[in-house]
Amino acid sequence: MRVLLAMLTIAAISAASSAGAQTYNPRYPVCIRVIEQFGGERIDCTYISLEQCAQRASGLAATCFANPFYRGQR
For 19-55, how does the pLDDT look when each residue is reduced to its tens digit (9 = 90+)? 555 579 999 999 999 999 888 999 999 999 999 999 9
Residue 15 lies in a domain: no
Confidence class for position 18, pLDDT limits 50, 70, 90: very low
Residue 58 lies in a domain: yes
Neighbours of 30 (CB within 10 A): 20
Residue 61 lies in a domain: yes
Q: Are 27 and 71 in contact (CB under 8 A)?
A: yes
| pLDDT given at position 10 | 62
Q: Are 30 and 69 in contact (CB under 8 A)?
A: no
The number of folded domains in the chain is 1
Residue 46 lies in a domain: yes
Which structural domain range is residue 27 located in? Answer: 21-74
Four-residue CA torsion sign, 38, 44, 48, 49: positive
Confidence class for position 17, pLDDT limits 50, 70, 90: very low
Mean pLDDT of the chain: 82
Structure pTM? 0.66
Residue 2 lies in a domain: no
Residue 4 lies in a domain: no
